[in-house]
Structure 1
Amino acid sequence: MNDDNPMRDDNVSHADHPTSDDNRPSDETGTRDDVVRSGTQTWGGNVTHEETGARDRKVAHSGTRTQAASVTLEDARTRDENVTRDGHRTRDQYATREESRTRDEHMTPGESRTRDENLAIVRDVAGRLAVPGVVHRTVTAPELVSLLAAGPPREAWHHLSLDEGYPGIVLLFAELGHTDPRAGEIAHAYLSAGAPHAAAAAAAPDGIYRGIPALAFAAAAAARRPGEYAKLLANLDEIIAARTSGLLQQENARLDAGIPGVRLAVYDVISGLTGLGRYLLSRPAACRPAAVAVAEYVVRLSRPVTVDGHEVPGWWSPDGATQDTRLHPARGHLNLGMAHGIAGPLALLALAHQHGVNVPGAGEAAHRIAEWLLSWVRTDAYGPHWPALVTFEEQVAGAAEPSRPVRPSWCYGAPGIARALQLAARAFGRPEWERTALEAVRAAVTRPVTDPRMTGDGGVCHGYAGLLQIIRLMARDTGDPALVQATAPVAGRLAGLFRPNSAFGYGLRLPGGETIPRAGFLEGAAGSALALLGHATGRQATAWDSALLLT
Structure 2
Amino acid sequence: MKNAEALIKKEVEFLSQYEIATAQIENNSEYWSSYTLSHGYPGIILFLNEYQKNFRINLDELIHKYILRIGEELERRIEGYSLFSGISGIAFSIDIVSDNSTHYQTILQKLDNYLIDFINRKMASINIEANPKKCDVVQGLAGVGRYLLNRVWANPKVVTSLIDIMKYFRDLHYSKNHWIISKENQFLNIDKERYSSGNINLGLAHGILGPFSLLALSKLKGIELNNHISLLSDITDYLFKSEFQNECGWLDRYDIAEMYYPSYAIRNGWCYGDTGVMNTIWLLGMAQKDEELIEKAKNIMIKIIRLNNDNLISPTFCHGLASHFTILNNVNRYFNIEEVNNYLNLILDKILSYYSSENQFMFHDIEIVNSQTRFKNKVGLLEGQIGILLSLLDYQNSQSNALEKSWKNMFLIS
TM-score of the pair, normalised by structure 2? 0.89
Matched, 1:517 2:362: no
Give secondary structure in 2 for the equivalent of 1:334: strand
Q: Of residues 223, 237, 244 in structure 1, which corresponds to 2:98? A: 223
Match of 1:412 in 2: 272
Work out whether 1:264 is the aligned partner of 2:132: yes
- For the aligned residue pairs, the C-alpha RMSD in angstroms reads 2.4
1:293 equivalenced with 2:164 (yes/no) = yes
Aligned partners of 2:50 and 2:393 also within 8 Å = no
Q: Provide the secondary structure at the position in 1 that maps to 2:373.
A: coil
Q: State the Cα distance separating 1:467 from its structure 2 match.
A: 1.1
Alignment partner of 2:257: what SS? helix
1:472 paired to 2:332: no
Tell me whether 1:538 sits opposite 2:392 in the alignment: no
Residue 486 of structure 1 and its aligned partner are, at CA, apart by 2.2
Q: Is the 8 A contact 2:183 2:196 kept in 1?
A: no
Does residue 1:369 correspond to 2:263, yes or no?
Answer: no
Cα distance in 2, alignment partners of residues 482 and 507 from structure 1 = 29
Equivalent residue number for residue 5 of structure 2: 119
SS in 2 for 1:510: strand
Find the residue that maps to 1:406 and give its secondary structure.
coil
Write the letter of the residue equivalent to 1:172.
F
CA distance in 1, matches of 2:358, 2:60: 26
Alignment correspondent of 1:250: 125
Deviates further, 176-185 or 324-333: 176-185
SS in 2 for 1:330: coil
Partners of 1:245 and 1:446 lie apart in 2 by 47
Match 1:450 to one of 310, 316, 330: 310
Whether 1:183 aligns to 2:183 is no
- The corresponding residue for 2:249 is 385
CA distance change for structure 1 residues 321 and 340 in 2, over 3 Å: closer, same or farther?
farther
1:168–1:520 CA contact under 8 A, matched in 2: yes
Aligned in 2, Cα 1:483/1:330: closer, same or farther, shift over 3 Å? same
Q: Does 1:426 align with 2:303?
A: no
Give the SS at the match of 1:515.
strand
* SS state at 1:210 partner: coil
CA distance in 2, matches of 1:132, 1:324: 39
Aligned-partner Cα distance in 2 for 1:136–1:330: 46
**Equivalent residues of 1:387, 1:405 under 8 A apart:** no
Whether the 8 Å CA contact 1:405–1:413 is kept in 2: the answer is no
CA distance in 1, matches of 2:413, 2:137: 11
Query: Does the Cα contact within 8 Å between 1:177 and 1:187 map onto a contact in 2?
Result: no
- The verdict on how the C-alpha distance between 1:125 and 1:542 changes in structure 2, with shifts beyond 3 A counting, is farther
Structure 1 residue 294: Cα displacement: 1.5
User: Which residue of the other structure, out of 131, 148, 160, is the alignment partner of 1:280?
Assistant: 148
Residues paired across the two proteins, number: 401
Which position in structure 2 is the counterpart of 1:506? 363
TM-superposed CA distance for 1:377, in Å, is: 5.1
Q: What aligned pairs does 1:45-64 form with structure 2 within 5 A after superposition?
A: none
Report the Cα offset of residue 450 of structure 1.
3.0
Residues 504 and 469 of structure 1: CA distance in aligned 2, closer, same or farther (over 3 Å):
same
Q: Does the aligned pair in 2 maintain the 1:279–1:547 contact within 8 Å?
A: yes
| Matched residue type, 1:408 | N
2:148 maps to amino acid: L
SS of 1:514's equivalent in the other structure is strand
1:21 alignment counterpart: none
Read off the aligned partner of 1:423 and give its amino acid letter. Answer: L
Q: Secondary structure at the match of 1:509?
A: strand
AA matched with 1:119: E
Deviation at residue 249 of structure 1 after TM alignment: 2.5
**2:170 partner amino acid:** V
Partner of 2:218: 352
Cα 1:525/1:319, change in 2 over 3 Å: farther
| AA partner of residue 161 (structure 1) | T
Superposed CA deviations along residues 362-396 of structure 1, whole A, max 9, x for unmatched, are 3233233222222245354xxx52111012213xx
Contact 1:125 1:525 in 2 (8 A): no
1:420 partner SS: helix
Structure 1 Cα separation of the partners of residues 387 and 201 of structure 2: 24
Alignment of 1:15-54 (within 5 A): none
Mapped to 2, the partners of 1:392 and 1:378 lie a distance apart of 13
- Structure 2 counterpart of 1:473, one-letter code: N
CA contact (8 A) 1:415 1:444 kept: yes
CA distance in 1, matches of 2:185, 2:334: 32
Structure 1 residue 510 displacement after superposition: 2.8
Q: Deviations over 1:287-334 (max 9, x none)?
A: 1111122122221121141xxxxxx4x121125787431232223211
Aligned partners of 1:385 and 1:414 also within 8 Å = yes
CA change 1:262–1:516 in 2 (3 A) is same
Q: Give, in whole Å, the separation in 2 of the partners of 1:388 and 1:538.
A: 32
How much has 1:280 moved relative to structure 2? 0.5
Contact 1:351-1:423 within 8 A present in 2 as well: yes
Q: Which runs of 5+ in 2 are unaligned?
A: none
1:490-520 CA-to-partner distances (Å, cap 9, x unmatched) read: 2222222222221221231132323222111
Provide the residue aligned with 1:317 in structure 2.
181
Q: Within 5 Å, which residues of 2 pair with 1:159-198? A: 159-178=34-53, 179-181=55-57, 183-198=59-74
- Quick one: which of 329, 339, 346 aligns to 1:489? 346
CA distance in 2, matches of 1:427, 1:225: 24
The CA deviation at 1:175 is: 1.1
Asked whether the 8 Å contact 2:377–2:384 carries over to 1, the reply is: yes
Tell me which amino acid in the other structure corresponds to 2:98: A
Q: TM-score if structure 1 supplies the norm length?
A: 0.68
1:171–1:526 contact (8 Å) kept in structure 2: no
In the other structure, the counterpart of 1:327 is: 191
Q: Distance in 2 between matches of 1:225 and 1:304?
A: 39
Output the CA distance in 2 between the equivalents of 1:187 and 1:321.
39
SS state at 2:347 partner: helix
Residue 120 of structure 1, CA deviation: 1.1
Deviation at 1:139, TM superposition (A): 5.0
Per-residue CA deviation, residues 31-86 of structure 1 (Å, 9 max, x unaligned), is xxxxxxxxxxxxxxxxxxxxxxxxxxxxxxxxxxxxxxxxxxxxxxxxxxxxxxxx
Alignment-derived partner of residue 150 in structure 1: none
